[in-house]
């Protein structure tokens, strides 16, 4: 599974995903730090990878219909420090081993994941 880590998440997220056997790149490493959300979304669509982000704009299904993407995973956490985000990602990795986000929007909170299919 391919995953693009948005620039608003720690780069260590890609390291953890790769350690779990997933193919992960960061938007920053690909020179997309200043790119618009729509460009990042389109890049994910053409590359066939899920996007992991803190940007709640990606949860707008009118702008980003889940069925048109290889997965949109939005972290929604009150605390957004590195330790908290990496902890949430570790729990997410367990789910990614069992389930694909393909054509779905996942809202990942500290205690649950909500799934929305296209």
Q: Mean pLDDT in the chain? A: 91
Tokens of 62: 């009118």
Look at 85 and 37; give whichever has higher pLDDT: 85
Distance CA 71, CA 106 (A): 8
Tokens of 116: 């929305």
Determine how many CB atoms are found less than 10 A away from the CB of residue 113.
Answer: 15
Domain-wise residue ranges, the chain: 2-117
How do residues 59-101 score in pLDDT, each as one tens digit? 999 999 999 999 999 999 999 999 999 999 999 999 999 999 9
How do residues 95-115 score in pLDDT, each as one tens digit? 999 999 999 999 999 999 999
Phi, psi angles (nearest 5°) of residue 57: -60, -30
Distance CA 108, CA 111 (A): 8
| In this structure, CATH architecture of domain 2-117 | 3-Layer(aba) Sandwich (3.40)
């Amino acid at each position: 599974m391919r995953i693009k880590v948005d620039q608003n998440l720690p780069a260590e997220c890609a390291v953890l995903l790769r350690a779990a056997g997933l193919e992960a790149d960061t938007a920053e490493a690909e020179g997309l730090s200043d790119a618009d959300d729509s460009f990042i979304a389109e890049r994910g669509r053409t590359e066939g990878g899920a996007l992991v982000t803190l940007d709640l704009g990606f949860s707008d299904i009118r702008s980003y219909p889940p069925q048109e993407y290889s997965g949109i995973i939005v972290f929604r956490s009150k605390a957004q420090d590195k330790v908290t985000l990496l902890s949430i990602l570790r729990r997410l990795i367990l789910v990614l081993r069992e389930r694909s986000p393909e054509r779905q929007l996942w809202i990942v909170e500290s205690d649950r994941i909500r799934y929305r299919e296209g």
